[in-house]
Structure 1
Amino acid sequence: MSGSTPVRITPRPAADHPGPPEELATPYRQYVYAYPHQKSYRRLTSGPLLTELWAAERLDALSLYVHVPFCEMRCGFCNLFTRTGAPEEVTGRFLDTLERQARVTREALEAQGRQIRFTLAAFGGGTPTYLTATELTRLADICEDVMGADLKAVPWSVETSPATATDDRIAVLAERGATRVSIGVQTFLEEEARAAVRPQKRAEVDAALTRLKAAAFPILNIDLIYGIQGQTERSFRVSIDAALAREPEEIYLYPLYVRPLTGLEGRHAETGDGWDEQRLRLYRSGRDHLLAAGYEQTSMRVFRRRGTAAVDLADDAGISEYNQQAGMVGLGIGARSFTTDLHYTTDYAVAVPEVRRIIDDYIATPTDDFRRAQWAFRMDDGERRRMYLLQTLLESTGTSEAQYRRRFGAPPREHFPSQFAALRERDWIREHPSGTLRLTPEGMAWADAIGPLFFSARVNDAMAAYQDR
């Protein structure tokens, strides 16, 4: 797929019976955080107006997501849409464009004369705290004054890094009411950081965590990665214990993936079954250690400390790793918006030259162009079934068969017989007395392979046709 060649979307009904699932040969097929994957989106020749897309949607429980595509460095495993080392001239112009996009987006939301209300917000990236304190203040102003989100009244989260979690930036986040701050540490051991092509020092990590703890955000999350070359259960335990010493409300454990166009591509020696076994061994060890330390597991990656604000706030706000539903409004390059019938976004890439080109194109976009969806995926009933199933089944609460039936007219096992047969055969799923289908502990370990079993043929074909760039 070219970055500049438009193609028209011609949806066909998703097949709910694609035949037997693929052989589950590896537990690490891909990270499933939203369905369908962004590689399934295609550029529209003349996208629908946002006023039309949002005319029939609920507007009283919207979520706001802002994507900031900048980082101070690019880690060896990173395949996110981000640019490193952008000067203030670029970040300033990005915010100018983001404000223009926000204005026309709000106009579209309010075109029917209905009042809008945001109940959840997040700043992601990239690294949002790559922006200076002054720029972060302006970003919050855009969300509040232009988009109409009351950040002090809703749960909202932001991602940061050890190098950018400075006192002045943290002060802005605290003053504007951030409820959750997530810091990507990945490992507390410098030799493992070097193996992951992540130039960070332990002293810098410790100083950042000290500042974040002093700010007393309701939820502090620490990201860790397992599967780094040379990492052992003992060394992974060192990082987990260092994280536990900070008493964070959340800890995320991510498996290392090595993707095309990343710094580790072609350099990571661990491949095949040996690497799978290493990652599974590290995952199980880390999971068991966190459970013993008083954390509860809510998905393959997410562990929340029992009896803390993380559990109560996340439950009350409906926050989860797979938090995806109609009513998501995205701003910025790569941010996705979800309506009932269409998921849409901007152009997307990983390769450095393409990322820079797309950022330049975004900054130069005429305001009127933001009034239409640009890159999109058309949803239908089959795709909505798959999206709902993935965002419930991959969570520890599982899929309520009664709720699924009310939504879609039949039990999930009737729509996806071969997939559920494969899960039952491996003892990766159980039906609880409440009528809920839940993954077993081992099923949860294989969640990154279970998710893709439920992808439609249309999504798989689109992803296969996507050319990494």
Structure 2
Amino acid sequence: MANSVPVHLTYGPALPVPETPYRQYVYAYPHQKAYRLLENGPLLSDVWTSERLDALSLYVHIPFCEMRCGFCNLFTRTGAPEDVTGAFLDALERQAQATRGALEAAGRPVRFVLSAFGGGTPTYLTAAELTRLCDICEDVTGADLAAVPWSVETSPATATADRLAVLAERGATRLSIGVQSFIDAEARAAVRPQKRAEVEAALSRLREAGFPVLNIDLIYGIDGQTEQSFRISLDAALAWRPEEIYLYPLYVRPLTGLSARHDKDGRLWDDQRLRLYRYGRDHLLANGYEQTSMRVFRRTGTPAAERAEDTSIGEYNQQAGMVGLGVGARSFTTDLHYTTDYAVAVPEVRRIIDGYLATPAEEFARAQWAFRMDDGERRRMFVLQTLLESGGLPVDGYRQRFGTPPLDDFAAEFATLGERQWLDADGGGVLRLTPEGMAWSDAIGPLFFSPRVHEAMAGYQDR
């Protein structure tokens, strides 16, 4: 960074050392469990009136899947019939129109620079429904989806030729497919009943469709998984030369399919996951990939890999302002993060989706479930969005934005990282995680949560 100064690492008292490397995946701060229902929530036209509107991102949440994996705690339901998906698109259109009206009320040009369809599985929708979904999104953005980087999540069973043809025609630039394991027995152990032949056929269709960026998701920590079996999946993924590979540690959360039958010793499981993470990381680095976060590896030397930095952030683009559409989607403004109700248990998810389908247009004009941000929470969000990435936390950038050095604002947190040798500083004034610090990202992230967020999350009733 230009005009930056070296960082001198001096620490005060540290926080307690995390007991496990796998506490919580931090992809947006604060977690949705910290949101609460607002009484007579503010009008979206008031929420967005003072926001920057020329660099927005759009995230659309499709809460449907053909199956629910044993580890999944996402907001999704399985087996939605056509009348439900059709009613969902009707509600989404009402929400999109209300949102577009709120943005236009500011009286300034509205421009979107990123789009992402997530879920759930967006390609659970039929080709005709995907076409309608694209039309709705182009109405709210005021431009062709093809005009901006655009990411879509898919699955082996739903990556059919007709669906992919729609996405290719409309200009999708990145397709992310959840494979998890190329070994049938491991897929079954994760309660993901799929065959490798089905996975390979889907990958062939994705490559034939010509999307600039292909991402393959893999999971480590499955019962019985070893370095040798993990390499089989890694090499199978590498054979497709994807522009990205994401490596996810297996989590078992309450109310998920694996939660009732997962009795592994926590320390042994942590050891297994750390071993597999290090093995997978080193294998991908040795095969021409660079690591940009604990989970993300990008193939070097291709223009598509460089563009992937823009196309893959999707829901995580909090700083520039994100507009969320669909039940379970979050929207981020400077002072307010808002969404719909959230749950994991199947009956509760269906209840919330049914409520969304019945929501009249006028109710979409107000924020519902929300978390009010303040200066302290914005500082924490900035730290989490930069420190957990390979680019690191720019000290001067933080000071220019907030007026104080991050080492002063979070002395105890950085003391913990320093004592464990998880933190490094270069001469350019950037705080970066060491390789071992990156391995512990899911423990480091929660260290920076505020007491307010910890309390709100602790008070959330799992359902």
Normalising by structure 2, we get a TM-score of: 0.96
Q: 2:107 is matched with which residue? A: 113
Could you say if the C-alpha distance between residues 174 and 119 of structure 1 is closer, same or farther in structure 2, counting changes exceeding 3 Å?
same
In the aligned structure 2, how far is the partner of 1:455 from the partner of 1:19?
17
Q: 1:382 is matched with which residue? A: 376
Q: 2:397 is matched with which residue? A: 403
Structure 1 position 321, deviation (Å) = 8.6
Aligned 8 A contact 1:187 1:225 in 2? yes
Aligned 8 A contact 2:184 2:194 in 1? yes
In the aligned structure 1, how far is the partner of 2:160 from the partner of 2:61?
20
Q: 2:123 is matched with which residue? A: 129
Q: Classify the secondary structure of the residue corresponding to 2:147.
A: coil
Matched, 1:148 2:145: no
Matched, 1:205 2:217: no
Matched, 1:189 2:183: yes
Amino acid at match of 1:40: A
In the aligned structure 2, how far is the partner of 1:354 from the partner of 1:128?
21
Among 417, 437, 444, the residue aligned to 1:443: 437
Q: 1:49 is matched with which residue? A: 43
Query: Could you tell which deviates more after superposition, 110-119 or 130-139?
Result: 110-119
Aligned 8 A contact 1:302 1:321 in 2? no
Matched, 1:178 2:167: no
Q: 2:63 is matched with which residue? A: 69
Identity of aligned residues (%): 76
Deviation string, structure 1 residues 51-85 (Cα, Å, up to 9, x no partner): 00000001100100000000000000000000100
Amino acid at match of 2:334: T
Aligned 8 A contact 1:304 1:310 in 2? no
Q: 2:232 is matched with which residue? A: 238
Aligned 8 A contact 2:53 2:109 in 1? yes
Among 292, 296, 300, the residue aligned to 2:294: 300
In the aligned structure 1, how far is the partner of 2:34 from the partner of 2:277?
29
Q: 1:454 is matched with which residue? A: 448
In the aligned structure 2, how far is the partner of 1:105 from the partner of 1:449?
36
List gaps (5 residues or longer) in structure 2: 1-11
Among 344, 347, 351, the residue aligned to 1:357: 351
Q: 2:3 is matched with which residue? A: none
Runs of 4+ in 1 over 6 A off after TM superposition: none
Among 363, 368, 376, the residue aligned to 1:369: 363
Could you say if the C-alpha distance between residues 259 and 318 of structure 1 is closer, same or farther in structure 2, counting changes exceeding 3 Å?
closer
In the aligned structure 1, how far is the partner of 2:188 from the partner of 2:138?
40
Matched, 1:333 2:327: yes
Deviation string, structure 1 residues 144-191 (Cα, Å, up to 9, x no partner): 134424211100100000000000000001000000000000000000
Structure 1 position 318, deviation (Å) = 8.8
Amino acid at match of 1:438: R
Among 259, 269, 272, the residue aligned to 1:275: 269
Could you say if the C-alpha distance between residues 270 and 355 of structure 1 is closer, same or farther in structure 2, counting changes exceeding 3 Å?
same
In the aligned structure 2, how far is the partner of 1:266 from the partner of 1:369?
38
RMSD: 1.5
Amino acid at match of 1:380: D
Q: Classify the secondary structure of the residue corresponding to 1:152.
A: helix
Instruction: Report how many residues are paired.
Output: 453
Amino acid at match of 2:74: L
Aligned 8 A contact 2:174 2:213 in 1? yes
Query: Could you tell which deviates more after superposition, 69-78 or 325-334?
Result: 325-334
Amino acid at match of 2:425: E
List gaps (5 residues or longer) in structure 1: 1-17
Among 84, 98, 102, the residue aligned to 1:104: 98
Matched, 1:30 2:24: yes
Structure 1 position 399, deviation (Å) = 0.4
Amino acid at match of 2:242: P
Normalising by structure 1, we get a TM-score of: 0.95
Structure 1 position 320, deviation (Å) = 8.0
Aligned 8 A contact 1:140 1:176 in 2? yes
